[in-house]
Amino acid sequence: MARVLPYLLACSTVSASLLLAPAAAVAAPPHDSATGSGKITGRTGAASDFSLAAHSGPQGEDPQGNVNLRNIDFPGAGDKGKGHVLCVLVIGNEAAVVAEFKDGGPFPGFPFAAVYVQDNGQPSGDTPDRGLAFGINIPSCADTMAIGQEFAQPLVQGNVVVRDAT
């Protein structure tokens, strides 16, 4: 019994420490995301209000989320809509998102809307976030990224946050 007592005492000490130890935090898998809202005024004076919450895996897999757009320059039927995210491409502080609008959308004649955003920090910073929204016929985040990089305009209001998982 004298030999068993230290063994039982050691086992109960280890068991107690395991019970009292905090559970290890399970890290969420990394993901790319673009979230926020804003108003874009284009080169021709065209204006769009948008909000987006788009997420995907680090390689663009399993895209999820929604895009809300209101195209101020096309009032009436088809001037706004909520679309389901089809693809997300994030590179650094830039994101390209394409959404499908099943019940019509903000761009008459286009079943998909493309949104490009560039996160340049807080809205009070020296460089405003940039964005571009446009209608497309073929959903391509790579094309959206290229067009957005070329034609995006500063947001006149709002803020976007882009997170790159890589």
Q: 50-102, pLDDT tens digit by residue?
A: 999 999 999 999 999 999 988 766 555 456 788 999 999 999 999 999 999 88
pLDDT 10s digits, 30-49: 899 999 999 988 666 567 88
Residue with token string 């559970």: 23
What is the torsion angle, in degrees rounded to the nearest 10, for the CA atoms of residue 11, residue 16, residue 21 and residue 26?
A: 70
In a domain, 82, yes or no: yes
- Stated pTM of the model: 0.79
Please tell me the distance from the alpha carbon of residue 51 to that of residue 55, in angstroms, as a whole number: 13
pLDDT on residue 77: 47
> For residue 112, is pLDDT > 60?
yes
Comparison of pLDDT for 20 and 166, the residue scoring more: 166
> Looking at the domain assignment, is residue 75 inside a domain?
yes
Q: Is residue 58 part of a domain?
A: yes
Q: If phi over 0 gives left and psi between -120 and 50 gives alpha, with beta otherwise, what is residue 132?
A: beta
Which of 91, 92, 71, 93 has the alpha carbon at shortest distance from 80? Answer: 71
- Per the structure, the count of domains in the chain is 1
Higher pLDDT, 12 or 102: 102
- The verdict on residue 7 lying in a domain is no
Is 104 part of a structural domain of the chain? yes
Please tell me the predicted confidence (pLDDT) of residue 15: 42
Q: List the domain range (segments joined by +) for residue 48.
A: 32-163
